[in-house]
Amino acid sequence: MDSEAVEKFKKWFDTYVKTFYSKDEDMQLHVEVKERHTYHVCDNIRSIGQSLKLGEAELKLAETVALFHDVGRFRQYQTYRTFNDKRSVNHAELSAKVLEELGVLKGLTDKEQQLIKKAVLYHNRRSIPDNEAAEVLLYAKLIRDADKLDIFAMIVGEDENCKMVKSPELEESTRYSAKIAADILEDRLAFYEDIQTSADQMLFRASWVYGLYFPYSSRYMLEKQYVQKMLCDLPQDALVQQVTLHLEEYLAIAGDKVSGYSA
């Protein structure tokens, strides 16, 4: 894939997003957050790809996946006024649908189109179907890591203009589930269904550390101290301290692995 194609997609995205700009403050805020998030994810995916020494054509394809991974978010918010998939639609499926409906990817080869659509579709699943072709797996893993790194940045409020919007339906509390903590101590992704409070949600998100694929991502998380920052509002009891330490040790080991991707 060449740089001309990516530039064209970026222009398309920019124009598309602007059609959702609104005088309604709430709508505008949500559109802008997802727009900024998208650009951050584009930067992240490039950095991860470079750490794997991917070629320029592969980097461009990866960037396109990042650019479109959340393209359905705008229609989701316009229609349902929520980013909560459970209360509306699966936004990854909606993103793939938007690409399809608007013929955004035409001009690319069938193979490139399939790769992009599948990576977009898989970006928010609990896991990627393991019977997929190695190339699909690569782009799906890239977008999942790139997306998570920015979600962590949003959670800790790194960019003043791109903060995570709170879930209004969740009880604001520092009370947390011992089950989620136990999942983390056993190196398991926690379960969405176990979330009851805002503290649970934070622990749940911290457990995404186990979903990271590339050493670059683990090193990035450690450098930015995301785990510590995410869990600092929880009661600093022995269990939370143990969980924090456990996740950081896991990241240190994962970050030490040799970078390189053999498809």
Instruction: Return residues touching Fe ion (CB under 5 A).
Output: 70, 124
Q: Residue number with the shortest CB distance to Fe ion?
A: 70
Instruction: Give the residue with the Cβ less far from Fe ion, 72 or 255.
Output: 72
Q: Which residues of 149-182 are buried (b: 16+ CB within 10 A; e: fewer)?
A: bbbbbbbbeeeeebbbeeeeeeeeeeebbeebbe
Pull the structure tokens for residue 243: 């969980």
Cβ proximity to Fe ion: between 63 and 70 the closer is: 70
Q: How far is the CB of 17 from Fe ion (least distance, A)?
A: 15
CB of 69 to Fe ion, least distance (A): 6
Nearer to Fe ion, 35 or 70 (CB): 70
Compare residues 81 and 246 and give the one whose CB is closer to Fe ion: 81
Q: Are 181 and 207 in contact (CB under 8 A)?
A: no
Q: Are 42 and 60 in contact (CB under 8 A)?
A: no
- Among 143, 253, 151, 142, residue whose Cα is nearest residue 202: 151
Rounded to a whole number of angstroms, the minimum distance from the CB of residue 107 to Fe ion is: 24
Minimum distance from CB of 89 to Fe ion (Å)?
12
Taking the least distance from each CB to Fe ion, the nearer of 59 and 92 is 92
CA separation, residue 174 to residues 34, 103, 155 (Å):
27, 46, 16
Pick the closest to residue 145 from 72, 251, 249 (CA basis).
251
Shortest Cβ 70–Fe ion spacing (Å): 4
**In which residue are the tokens 């995205």 written?**
13
